[in-house]
Structure 1
Amino acid sequence: MVLANCRAQFTATDFDFVANVLSKQANQHISLIELLSDPECRDEMLDHEALPQALLSREGQVAVSQQLYFYVLTRTVLRRQGIEDRELADYIAALLWQFSTTQRMQSPHEKLPHRFQYIADMLAALSSASAAEAFLIRVHIGNYALFLSGMFHAWIERRQQRGAPDSSFYEQVGKSSFRTAATHKLAYQLELAQVYGQLAEGFRDARLALNELAQTVWKPNDAPPFSL
């Protein structure tokens, strides 16, 4: 599943990159020990405005993990939309990281046989799914709707002109799916109930943040990495 765990997967190279960038900004040495030993200190450092600028340089993109790359950039655009929750930024960053792989984008969970290409198929699968499977599919619908409407908004608008669903459809189905998932016992066991609840209430703001991010790191006029 998509979990809010990008910050837990940063590498030694990631921390070295952050330390080097911030040391140049502050004209003082930022210790790797500070970054590694104090999560609160780490989170504050990751909010520094110099990091997204450095990550968007060629050197930054090849020097860090996808987890750091997506977390810092996602956190930046979410804050511009007034979304300050770091766990939510971590979750959406993990979503972008995982959905950059087509196979992961089409599967709710590695242990489920389902491979989906249409939201309509996901909704239809709910009728025969077990409670646990339905939860996984609901989460996947929400993730899928947010990813498509956030990172491929221009593509959705072009298809809308030919009668395909518009952004409001993705927003509606995404909010509904996250709202249902937030009340499931598995959401509490995974410590994701609050994240799902926030996405249910603030789906549009999160989508707008990803629209901005897509303009920077994606080719928003392209189609998604699969055929529809």
Structure 2
Amino acid sequence: MVLANCRAQFTATDFDFIARILSRQIAKHVSLIELLSDPECRDEMLDHEALPKALLSQAGQVSVSQQLYFYVLARTVLRRQNIEDRELADYIASLLWQFSTTQRMHSPHEKLPHRFQYIVDMLEALTNASAAEAFLIRVHIGNYALFLSGMFQAWIERRQQRGAPDPSYYEEVGRSSFRLAATHKLAYELELAEVYTQLAQGFRNARLALNELAQTVWKPNQAPPFAL
């Protein structure tokens, strides 16, 4: 499962990086103890504009975890789309981190046998799925639609010229999948119901934020890391 847990997986090196970068930018020394023990302080520090600038430099990229890298950059572009919820930023950062591994893009859950490449196949699988399986597949459809339309917009638009679905298709299927997933009891047990609801309501703005991020960290015309 993609969970909103990137911030919980920051490493000692990550905290050292944050303290080192921010101590150059603000009047007082940033305490590692404060970052480790005070979540509110940590979240406030993570919003400082110096962090994304440092992470986008070559030196910054090689010294931190993927969780920190994706969280800070996702949080930055989401705020430009007026999406301020940190849990949502954490979830999207986790999505980017997990989907950077191609295998995770094709599997709703490690315990399910399904391996999907097309959204239409995921939708078809719902017809014979149990309630729990349907929940996992719907979440995966939403994640998949957001990742593709967010990080590979140019690729989608090129394929659209040959009759493939356009960005509006991904938005609609993504919104509806997250909306249905948000009502399932597992969403509440996983404490993700609110995240799914926000994605259902604000899918377009989240996609636009990822479009901006893709322009920064991806080659704009790059195809997804799998063969179609």
Alpha-carbon separation, structure 1, partners of 2:59 and 2:166: 37
Residue 139 of structure 1: how far off its partner (Å): 0.1
Aligned residue in 1 for 2:118 = 118
Residue 26 of structure 1: how far off its partner (Å): 1.3
Residue 198 of structure 1: how far off its partner (Å): 0.2
Give the alignment's Cα RMSD to 1 decimal: 0.5
Partner letter of residue 73 of structure 2? L
User: Runs of 5+ in structure 1 lacking a partner?
Assistant: none
Aligned residue in 2 for 1:219 = 219
Partner letter of residue 218 of structure 1? W
Residue 220 of structure 1: how far off its partner (Å): 2.6
Aligned residue in 1 for 2:41 = 41
Using the aligned pairs only, state the percent identity. Answer: 86
Whether 2:23 is the aligned partner of 1:23: answer yes
Residue 28 of structure 1: how far off its partner (Å): 3.0
Whether 2:102 is the aligned partner of 1:136: answer no
CA displacement 1:192-225 (0-9 Å, x = unmatched): 0000000000000000000000000112301100
CA displacement 1:64-93 (0-9 Å, x = unmatched): 000000000000000000000000000000
Alpha-carbon separation, structure 2, partners of 1:93 and 1:22: 21
Q: Matched residue pairs, number?
A: 228
Secondary structure of the structure 1 residue equivalent to 2:195: helix
Partner letter of residue 10 of structure 1? F
CA displacement 1:12-67 (0-9 Å, x = unmatched): 00000000000001143111001000000000000000000000000100000000
Aligned residue in 1 for 2:164 = 164
Partner letter of residue 32 of structure 1? L
Partner letter of residue 30 of structure 1? V
Residue 227 of structure 1: how far off its partner (Å): 1.0
Secondary structure of the structure 2 residue equivalent to 1:33: helix
Whether 2:76 is the aligned partner of 1:76: answer yes
Residue 138 of structure 1: how far off its partner (Å): 0.1
TM-score normalised to structure 2 length: 0.99
CA displacement 1:87-143 (0-9 Å, x = unmatched): 000000000000000000100000000000000000000000000000000000000
The 5-angstrom pairing of residues 149-188 of structure 1 reads 149-188=149-188
Aligned residue in 2 for 1:67 = 67
Aligned residue in 2 for 1:94 = 94
TM-score normalised to structure 1 length: 0.99
Alpha-carbon separation, structure 2, partners of 1:119 and 1:193: 22
Partner letter of residue 47 of structure 2? D
Alpha-carbon separation, structure 2, partners of 1:185 and 1:26: 44
Alpha-carbon separation, structure 1, partners of 2:41 and 2:15: 12
Secondary structure of the structure 1 residue equivalent to 2:107: coil
User: Runs of 5+ in structure 2 lacking a partner?
Assistant: none
Secondary structure of the structure 2 residue equivalent to 1:25: coil
Aligned residue in 2 for 1:7 = 7
Alpha-carbon separation, structure 2, partners of 1:129 and 1:145: 20
Partner letter of residue 94 of structure 2? A
Aligned residue in 2 for 1:105 = 105
Partner letter of residue 221 of structure 1? N
